[in-house]
C-alpha cells in the first residue's frame, strides 16, 4: 500500500555479457521479435544494481544510461 525505501542498495556494475544474451533471448522469445529488434532493446552498456527490499526480498534492477554523442566545437 505504501512505498518503502530499499533496504540495501549496492553499487552499479556493468551487466555481464552472458546475462545480457540471456535477457535478450528471453525478450525475443516472449515478444516474438527478430534478433535485430532484441539488439535494439537490449544494447551494450546496461548496468545492474542489486538491492534488498524492506521485507528482505532480493532483486536486481537494470539501468541503461544513454550515451550522448560528443560534438567538437572550434572557435575562430
13-55 residue pLDDT tens? 898 999 999 999 999 999 999 999 999 999 888 999 888 887 8
Identify whether 71 is part of a domain: no
Number of C-beta neighbours around residue 33 at 10 A? 15
Identify whether 72 is part of a domain: no
Q: Which domain holds residue 24?
A: 8-64
Mean pLDDT, residues 43-68 taken together: 83
pTM check: above 0.95: no
Identify whether 75 is part of a domain: no
Rounded CA separation 48/70 (Å): 25
In the chain, the number of structural domains is 1
- Give the burial class of 34: count Cβ atoms within 10 A of its Cβ; 0-12 exposed, 13-18 middle, 19 or more buried: exposed
* Residue 74: per-residue pLDDT: 54
Amino acid at each position: 500500500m505504501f512505498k518503502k525505501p530499499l533496504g540495501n542498495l549496492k553499487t552499479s556494475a556493468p551487466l555481464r555479457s552472458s546475462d545480457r544474451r540471456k535477457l535478450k533471448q528471453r525478450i525475443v522469445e516472449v515478444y516474438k521479435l527478430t534478433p535485430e529488434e532484441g539488439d535494439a532493446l537490449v544494447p551494450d552498456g546496461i548496468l545492474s544494481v542489486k538491492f534488498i527490499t524492506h521485507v528482505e526480498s532480493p532483486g536486481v534492477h537494470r539501468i541503461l544510461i544513454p550515451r550522448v554523442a560528443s560534438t567538437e566545437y572550434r572557435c575562430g
